Amino acid sequence: MTATTATRVLVLNSGSSSVKYQLLDMADGARLAVGLVERIGETSSRLAHTPAGGARREREAPIADHEAALKAVANELASDGLGLDSPGLAAIGHRVVHGGQKFTAPTVIDDAVLAEIERLVPVAPLHNPANLTGIKTAQTLNPDLPQVAVFDTAFHTTMPEHAARYAIDTETADEHRVRRYGFHGTSHAYVSRKTAELLDKDPSEVNVIVLHLGNGASASAVAGGRCVDTSMGLTPLEGLVMGTRSGDIDPAVIFHLSRVAGKSIDEIDTLLNKRSGLIGLCGDNDMREIVRRIDEGDERAKLAFDIYIHRLKKYIGAYSAVLGTVDAVAFTAGIGENSAPVREAAVTGLEELGLALDAELNAVRSDQARVISPQYARVAVAVVPTDEELEIAAQAYALVSP
Ligand code: AMP
């Protein structure tokens, strides 16, 4: 009898009050289970678990902390014969939001790596602590299992210094590690590579603008498979208009709100991160609802949509200039994959840049990567569904497989 090779990877995305997870088999890319624990630490915690080919199971019971959450996840997996101690499990891949300048690739976690992720907490106070808790808890549940950190920032570490550095005093920037790091890197990496595949090219042969338009949104300029610029910065606040974040503003708005409106720094932080963007502009951050309201003649929704599109076009133009030549513009994430009106509005008027849309192809709903521009267009416009979990699993597996 031959020993079975461990080919499964559990992907964990630990947020401050939630844990999302997927179990993938890298032998064939099959998704064996997907699930989510929400409202950790509250009385109304909820776990939803769906095994492949099985019915969704939901449990509502208080889950006090991340340790209890991961134990509950491990129990669900074990009841399907896929527990954390099963021999087929090769690794746990953790999404870690901030890897700073040091982590340029996925990394097997040891004490030194944990200490470095901890050292980055000041630049990612909302995310890295939760990611660390997820890692430490997973380690206690199976100390022998390799744990791999896959960083949201890693893909962007190839940015040249002139794109990554802000034009502020160099000593201050260096002392406090203030620079453009960029986020959603796993998605930008996956989507730019898939776009090259769609064009039947090697990633090294194409320049791609990736528009990751979810509730958070970011753009990146990818030249020959390497990121050369991205719209998010020190934090995920910069760049495009998002569901609840402002994206780019004049930094002096903050001084103004402090000095003239008497708001505290924390209040302004909350305003720009949670009560701005689409929700701040029109009260909704779901693009479906915004488009529905526009169809009913709602002017606030229309203005929010127009501001969103205007910013998007500015980034497409800017990144066309950064790249010099563009082979493809790829739309991805919740809005990018699903909203034909957003794609149409973003591309309309950019014919001089070589962009055009085929209205019929744009209207097709599909979960497959596809080109939606006409044959004659100089730049291919594509819809490329992102799959951050698959990319995290693949990167983790590549590091630990024999
Ligand atoms: P994500 O963060 O990638 O999960 O994207 C979430 C966002 O995608 C939601 O807030 C919606 O605005 C948007 N979205 C999801 N489905 C659709 C759809 N069918 N049409 C338009 N927007 C959608």
H or E element in which residue 278 lies:
helix 277-282
The answer to whether 124 touches 235, Cβ cutoff 8 Å, is yes
Summarize pLDDT for 25-76 with one digit per residue, the tens: 999 999 999 999 999 999 999 999 999 999 999 999 899 998 899 999 999 9
Cα distance between residue 93 and residue 255, in whole Å: 41
Question: What are the residues whose beta carbons fall under 8 Å from the beta carbon of 18, sequence distance 6 or more?
Answer: 36, 37, 38, 39, 40
User: How many angstroms does the Cα of residue 215 sit away from the middle of ligand 1?
Assistant: 7
CATH number of 8-151: 3.30.420.40
Predicted local confidence at residue 4, as pLDDT: 62
User: How many angstroms does the Cα of residue 374 sit away from the middle of ligand 1?
Assistant: 25
Cα distance between residue 76 and residue 87, in whole Å: 17
Q: Which atom of ligand 1 is nearest to the CA of 212?
A: 3
Predicted local confidence at residue 161, as pLDDT: 98
Which residues sit opposite 287 in a β-bridge?
Answer: none
Residue % of the chain over a pLDDT of 90: 91
Residue % of the chain over a pLDDT of 70: 99
Question: Quick one: tokens of 192?
Answer: 């730019």
Listed by start position, the domains of the chain span 8-151, 200-388
Pairing of strands 107-108, 57-60: unpaired
Q: Give the other-Cβ count within 10 Å of 366's Cβ.
A: 10
Which residues are designated catalytic? 152
The answer to whether 365 touches 313, Cβ cutoff 8 Å, is no
Summarize pLDDT for 257-312 with one digit per residue, the tens: 999 999 999 999 999 999 999 999 999 999 999 999 999 999 999 999 999 999 99
Predicted local confidence at residue 16, as pLDDT: 83
Pairing of strands 226-230, 380-383: unpaired
Cα distance between residue 377 and residue 199, in whole Å: 13
User: How many angstroms does the Cα of residue 334 sit away from the middle of ligand 1?
Assistant: 4
Q: Which fold has domain 200-388?
A: Nucleotidyltransferase; domain 5 (3.30.420)
Give φ, ψ of 256 to 5 degrees.
Answer: -60, -45
Which residues sit opposite 46 in a β-bridge?
Answer: 38, 60
Residues within 6 Å of ligand 1 by CB: 214-215, 243, 285-288, 333-335, 338-339
H or E element in which residue 223 lies:
strand 217-223
Cα distance between residue 287 and residue 294, in whole Å: 10
Q: What pTM value is reported for the model? A: 0.95
Is 402's pLDDT higher than 80?
Answer: no
| CA-proximal residue: ligand 1, atom 17 (nearest) | 338
DSSP-based three-state secondary structure for 92: strand
Question: Quick one: tokens of 351?
Answer: 């014919």
